[in-house]
Structure 1
Amino acid sequence: MKKKEAILKIATVLFANKGFAGTSVQEISRLTGAAEGTIFYHFKSKEGLLLTILERTRETIVNQFEDFYRDRGFESGMAMVEETVSFFLYLAGLMEDHFLLLHRHDLYKFAETNLEFREHLEAIYNCLVDFFERGVAEGRRDGSISTEVHPRKSALIIYTMVDGLVRFKNYNLYDAGALFNELLQSCRRMLQANVR
Structure 2
Amino acid sequence: MKRDIILDTAARLFAERGFSNTPTSLLAREAGVAEGTIFRHFKTKDDIFLTLVTNVKNQLISDIEKYLEVRTPESSMEKVVSIIKSFYVFVKKNNMEFCLIFRDAPTRYGHRNDNVFLQIQQIYSYLTEYLTQALEEGKQDGSIRSALNTKDTAGMVVSLVVGLVRAMHFGFVEPSDDVLRSVIDNIRHMLTCE
TM-score, normalization: structure 2? 0.89
Off by >3 Å, runs of 4+ in structure 1 = 105-109
Shift of 1:132: 2.6
Aligned length: 193
Check the 8 A contact 1:20/1:106 in 2, yes or no: no
Partner of 1:123: 122
What residue identity is the alignment partner of 1:190? Answer: M
**1:108: how far off?**
5.1
How big is each residue's C-alpha offset from its partner over 1:137-189, in whole Å with a ceiling of 9 and x where there is no partner?
A: 22112111112212222122111222222123222333231312210121012
Match of 1:102 in 2: 101
In the TM superposition, 1:81-92 aligns within 5 A as 81-92=80-91
Q: Offset of 1:113 from its aligned partner?
A: 6.9
Aligned to 2:111, the other structure's residue is in SS state helix
Asked if 1 retains the 8 angstrom alpha-carbon contact of 2:112 and 2:118, the reply is no
Shift in alpha-carbon separation, 1:84–1:54, aligned structure 2, 3 A:
same
Matches within 5 A, 1:157-172: 157-172=156-171
Q: CA deviation at 1:77?
A: 0.8
Residue 49 of structure 1 and its aligned partner are, at CA, apart by: 0.7
CA contact (8 A) 1:19 1:106 kept: no
1:120–1:180 distance in 2 versus 1, CA, 3 Å? closer
Residue equivalent to 2:41: 42
Supply the AA of the counterpart residue of 1:17: E
Would the alpha carbon gap of residues 9 and 134 (structure 1) be closer, same or farther in structure 2, given more than 3 Å must change? farther
- Cα RMSD (Å): 1.9
> Closer, same or farther in 2 for the Cα pair 1:105/1:53, shift >3 Å?
closer
Deviation at 1:14, TM superposition (A): 2.2
Say whether 1:190 aligns with 2:187: no
Q: Alpha-carbon deviation of 1:16?
A: 2.9
Structure 1 stretch displaced more, 120-129 or 36-45: 120-129
Taking the aligned partners of 1:13 and 1:136, their CA distance within structure 2 comes to 37
Q: Unaligned regions of 5+ residues in structure 2, if any?
A: none
Q: Aligned letter for 2:25?
A: Q
Deviation per residue, 1:71-92 (Å, 9 max, x gap): 5431211111112222111111
Conservation of the 8 A alpha-carbon contact between 1:133 and 1:155: yes
Specify every segment of 5 or more residues in structure 1 that has no aligned partner in the other structure, as ranges: none
Q: What percentage of residue pairs aligned between the two structures are identical?
A: 27
Shift of 1:105: 4.8
| CA distance in 2 between partners of 1:105 and 1:55 (Å) | 14
Structure 1 residues 60-99: aligned runs within 5 Å: 60-70=59-69, 72-99=71-98
CA shift, 1:33, in A, is: 0.5
Tell me the secondary structure at the aligned position of residue 149 of structure 1.
coil
Query: Would the alpha carbon gap of residues 42 and 77 (structure 1) be closer, same or farther in structure 2, given more than 3 Å must change?
Result: same
